[in-house]
């Protein structure tokens, strides 16, 4: 398999964790987002959004969108499961993941922040916008799992929720968000970071890290 990504992309980071948990290896093909390499015509031919990640499997299939890729990995390589069997629990975990993947990350991604700069906003306003998006999302996530026993977001092993949480917390720190308000999220992050699958997927461990 080939994973098109970028060390700092939190959506790529989610897929790297999934591959590691499943014990799958992939060739990592970096696309430097700040240099615009994701808009190369050869890349747009496989991912018309010009976003990362894209996963190409050995059989010629091309998969885009991190959550779709992770659910495909979970369906084709079921062990260890990233979603449980119970439909209601699956829905709760997917909802948590979507708070991050739909309502938080896209509102603070590079493309949106670049557009704010085009509208004339400077560093302080752009960073505060990104911090706001993170605070809104993380506060909802904290509420969703406050009463979950843990130590992971949902139970004693990592799920799709943790795969989304850990990269998002890295973003939040980059934008200067005070994370003290989210003790349950930090507890889940600590449990996850004890696992090599998470630690090895971290941005600073990737070959394209700067």
- Of residues 137 through 176, those in contact with a copy of itself by CB under 8 A are 139-140, 143-144
Cis peptide upstream of residue 190 (ω within 30 degrees of 0): no
What b/e readout covers 14-50, taking b as 16+ CB neighbours within 10 angstroms? Answer: bbbbbbbbbeeebebbbbebeeeebeeeebeeebeeb
- Which tokens belong to 129? 């916008």
> Which member of 87, 122, 207, 210 binds a copy of itself (CB under 8 A)?
87
196 is an interface residue for a copy of itself by CB under 8 A: no
What distance lies between CA 181 and its chain's CA centroid?
Answer: 21
Residue 107 near a copy of itself by CB under 8 A: yes
Is 4 a binding residue for a copy of itself by CB under 8 A? The answer is no
Stretch that binds a copy of itself, among 24-32, 44-52, 176-184, 201-209 (CB under 8 A): 44-52
Tell me if 48 contacts a copy of itself by CB under 8 A.
yes
- Find the distance separating the first CA and the last CA of the chain, reported in whole Å: 24
Query: C-beta of 194: minimal distance to a copy of itself in Å?
Result: 27
Instruction: List 5's β-bridge partners, or say none.
Output: 30
Considering only residues 2, 29, 98, 155, which one is a binding residue for a copy of itself as defined by CB under 8 A? 98
| Beta carbon of residue 81, minimum distance to a copy of itself (angstroms, whole number) | 14
Q: Per CB under 8 A, does 49 bind a copy of itself?
A: yes
**Is residue 138 a contact partner of residue 185, using CB atoms and an 8 Å limit?**
yes
Name the token pair of 94: 């997917």
Verify binding: residue 114, a copy of itself, rule CB under 8 A. no
Q: Is 129 in the site for a copy of itself (CB under 8 A)?
A: yes
Number of residues located near a copy of itself, criterion CB under 8 A: 42
Among 2, 37, 110, 132, binds a copy of itself (CB under 8 A): 132
Residue 40 as a binder of a copy of itself (CB under 8 A): the answer is no
Which stretches of the chain bind a copy of itself, using CB under 8 A?
48-49, 51, 61, 63-65, 67-69, 71-72, 75-76, 87-88, 90-92, 94-95, 98-99, 101-103, 105-107, 111-112, 115, 119, 121, 125, 129, 132, 136, 139-140, 143-144
């Amino acid at each position: 398999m080939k994973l098109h990504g970028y060390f700092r992309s939190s959506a790529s980071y989610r897929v790297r964790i999934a591959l590691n948990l499943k014990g799958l290896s992939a060739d990592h093909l970096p696309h430097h987002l700040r240099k615009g390499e994701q808009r190369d015509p050869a890349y747009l031919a496989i991912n018309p959004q010009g976003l990362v990640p894209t996963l190409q499997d050995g059989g010629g299939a091309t998969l885009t969108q991190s959550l779709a890729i992770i659910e495909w990995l979970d369906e084709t390589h079921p062990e260890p499961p990233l979603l449980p069997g119970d439909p209601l629990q699956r829905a709760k975990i997917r909802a948590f993941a979507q708070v991050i993947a739909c309502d938080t990350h896209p509102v603070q991604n590079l493309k949106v922040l670049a557009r704010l700069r085009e509208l004339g906003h400077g560093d302080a306003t752009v960073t505060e916008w990104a911090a706001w998006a993170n605070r809104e999302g993380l506060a909802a996530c904290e509420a969703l799992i406050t009463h979950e026993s843990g130590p992971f977001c949902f139970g004693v092993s990592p799920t799709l929720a943790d795969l989304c949480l850990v990269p998002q917390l890295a973003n939040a720190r980059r934008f200067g968000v005070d994370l003290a308000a989210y003790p349950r999220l930090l507890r889940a992050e600590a449990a996850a970071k004890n696992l090599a699958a998470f630690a090895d997927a971290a941005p600073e461990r990737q070959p394209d890290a700067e």
